[in-house]
Structures are given as C-alpha cells and as structure tokens.
Amino acid sequence: MTSLFFRLLPAFPLVAAMSAVQAGGDDTAGATPAFTATVTLGSQYVSRGMRQSWGRPALQAGLDYAHPSGWSFGTWASTVSDRFIEGGRVEWDLYGGYAGTLGPLDVSLSIMHYRYPGARIEASGTRYDYTELVPGLGFKSFYAKYYRTVSRDFFGIANARGTGYLDIGVNHDLGGGVTLNLHAGDGRVAGPGNAMWGWRDAKAGATKGFDSGWSIAAAYTRAWGATDAYDRYTTGVPRADGAIAYSNPAKGTFAVSVARSF
C-alpha cells in the first residue's frame, strides 16, 4: 500500500509563539521579541487522528522566535516510525508567518514546510516532503484554519497539489491553568485517483500548564477514512524478522504528553 500521513499542528500544544500564528491569535502584540524552546515527551505522536509513531513513544523539540509586530518563525522535530513512513525516522518542520487582528477577529497567514530525511516511497521514488499555506481565523477561544498543499506532492502521494485540510476547534480556558482542547478536521487529497485517501477526524482533550514552564496534555483522537484504505495500513517493507507490519492508524487512541518550555 502506498504510504500516507498527515501532520496537524499541533497534535499537542507545541510552542507558544507559533500557536498564536496558527490559531490566528495576536498573543505576540506588544511583547518583547523572544525565543522559546520546548521539549516534549509523548506516549505516542498522534496527528490529524492518525498515529504517526505507530503507537510508540515520541520525543519532540521546537525552537521559535516571536516579534512584537506579529511576525514569527521556528522549527520543530519529532521522532516517527519507519513502519508508518517508509525509510523515515524523523519529521522536521520549518515554518513562519504573521498574526494580527481585524476588528474582533484574529487573523493569520503562515507557511509550513515538512521534511522527512531519508524517507521516500521505494516503488515510485516519491518523497514525503511537502509544503502548505495556512490562513487562519480566530474569535475568542474558537479558531478555523485551512491547510492548502502548494507543493507538487503530498506526503508520498504524487501530483497532489491542492490537497486541503480544514481544521476547526476551540481552546477554551477553564481556569487554574487548564485548557479544554476540541478539534474536528476534514481532509481531501487532490489529484487523479487520490480521493481514496480522504479522511475526517476529531479530538477531545485538555492541557494543564504550570508557572515553572512545565505542561501536561491528554487527548482522545479518532479518524475515519473515506474508504477502507487505512484499515490494514502498511508500507510494505518487511521488518527485521521478515514479517510485514500492519495496523489501523485511524483507530481511536488515547495519548498523553509532558512538555517543558524555556
């Protein structure tokens, strides 16, 4: 089966600076220019309802810069499973954008580039690297973002420019440092014969922040494929014992993470 996966930012809160850009917020306005580093250990890496680390723990790290004018940029990386991404062990993201306000609305525009060093579909030679343009709107704790693929290929799928992912949700402050995280997504893969990879997903979780820079997060996620393409997913590459690993990355799963920001 052709390998496929979709990265959603954030699966868990990653970094304060880029969260503002992606959600359409203007949290950096009036602030001092600052770098923020974040290290996260998760029970698994779940993104857009899919289990990118094949249900295993993931180590993640990010570095972000936010300017008072609203501009920000950064980089983020996570371990991934080569059973899900053929030849890949690491995801490395580069991103930048602008966030501001328009009346009562938060507005943003960012560009995301995803790299998977060494990963490619052996049968076709297609690499997993791709780029998305992401406009966003926010109102109080509600947000909407649209990820539009502008590169030729999309995560190992050739000729998929125009793939879109709509992300809507709410990050509501419950008080006491606790934030309720709700999300629903709809993804449609562009290109001839690629519609079979379409999916929808949902997430419900919460994040608890501490003054020391530590935070913990927990969430339940679930995805639904447009077809049965995900039911027995595999890269087709044998394991060390010669067997081929199958799994359903879209099935419901619960994940927790702990993070430290500096």
Does residue 5 fall inside a structural domain?
A: no
- 29 pLDDT exceeds 90? no
User: How confident is residue 16, by pLDDT bands cut at 50, 70 and 90?
Assistant: very low
Contacts 24+ apart (CB under 8 A), 171-179: 171/23, 171/141, 171/143, 172/141, 173/141, 174/206, 177/208, 177/209, 177/210, 178/206, 178/207, 178/208, 178/209, 179/13, 179/206, 179/207, 179/208, 179/209
User: Looking at the domain assignment, is residue 9 inside a domain?
Assistant: no
Instruction: Examine the pLDDT at 2 and tell me if it is beyond 80.
Output: no
CATH number at residue 218: 2.40.160.40
Give yes or no for residue 260 having a pLDDT over 80.
Answer: yes
pLDDT at residue 31, as a whole number: 60
Share of the chain above pLDDT 70, in %: 88
Query: Is the residue at 73 inside a domain?
Result: yes
Considering its fold, how many domains does the chain have in total?
Answer: 1
pTM of the model: 0.87
Residue-wise pLDDT tens digits, 245-256: 888 999 999 999
Domain assignment of residue 52, yes or no: yes
Please report whether residue 1 resides in a domain: no
Q: Which residue did the predictor score with more confidence, 142 or 237?
A: 142
Segments forming the whole domain that contains residue 254: 16-261
Could you tell me if residue 155 is inside a domain?
A: yes
